Copies of this chain bind each other. A is one copy, B any other.
Amino acid sequence: MERRIEIEKQVLSENDKVALQLRQEFADRRVLALNLVSSPGSGKTSLLVQTLSALKAEFGIAVVAGDVQTENDAQRLRETGGGQIRAIETRGACHLDALMMEKALVEIDLDDIDILFIENVGNLVCPSSYDLGEEMKVVIISTTEGDDKPLKYPGMFRRSSLMITNKIDMIEMCDFDLEKVRSNAVTVNNSLEFINVSCRTGEGLDLWYDWLRKQVASKKATVCDKSG
């Protein structure tokens, strides 16, 4: 197994080099890049559909949507008419990597956008190891998945900056405790922020939009400070 670990390290190191270039490019173009990670079916695409519809007049937005197979998510996003949407089919790979991102970004005009959402493959393990040059990871968990997930998949929650709990309209039907999931998450990452939403009813989405506005504003302020 030792040789495998060595090769894995080399691949990650190649990935990190490209991710570093991407991060610099996002900084130069003042683009807020967010890497959205979650289990399959927790609602990443639903969240983005709502977000594109709500904020398309306010911000320039692009989405790179990764899936093992199909372009279903990208198609749903395109129907909002709300941004530049690119699909990556990983063809079996369990995560996006920086090289896939670099390729997808060729077709996106970064000068036209304020926010780049990267919708990663639905997987709570592997995507946590691959830096895509993003500013932050946002982990989405849904009330139907159980409040123990931060303890069971600590790597993902440790590397994320914001945790969005989706499907709070279904919480009564699930054995899911909002306080417990938060305390479990804090155990692995005590600087994590939290927002609770329902993409179905719209509850809480304003908090998410405000969080995005704050991040975009802070990014532009940083750039102004640097140039001033």
Contact = CB atoms under 8 A, between A and B. Distances in A.
Interface of A: 1, 3-4, 7-8, 10-11, 39-41, 67-70, 72, 92-94, 121-126, 142, 144-146, 148-149, 151-155, 167, 169-170, 173, 200
B151 A70 contact: yes
Nearest to A72: B148
A122 B153 CA distance: 9
Contacts of A69: 151-154
Given A39-B39, A144-B41, A152 B72 contact: yes
The number of times this chain is found in the oligomer is: 2
A123 B152 contact: no
10 closest pairs, A vs B, by CB? A41-B145, A94-B125, A144-B144, A39-B40, A7-B7, A41-B146, A39-B39, A70-B151, A94-B126, A4-B7
Contacts of A154: 68-69
B170 A144 contact: yes
A94 B123 contact: yes
A11 to B, nearest CB: 5
Nearest to A99: B1
12 contacts: A4-B8, A4-B11, A40-B153, A41-B142, A68-B153, A69-B153, A70-B151, A72-B152, A92-B125, A94-B125, A122-B153, A126-B126
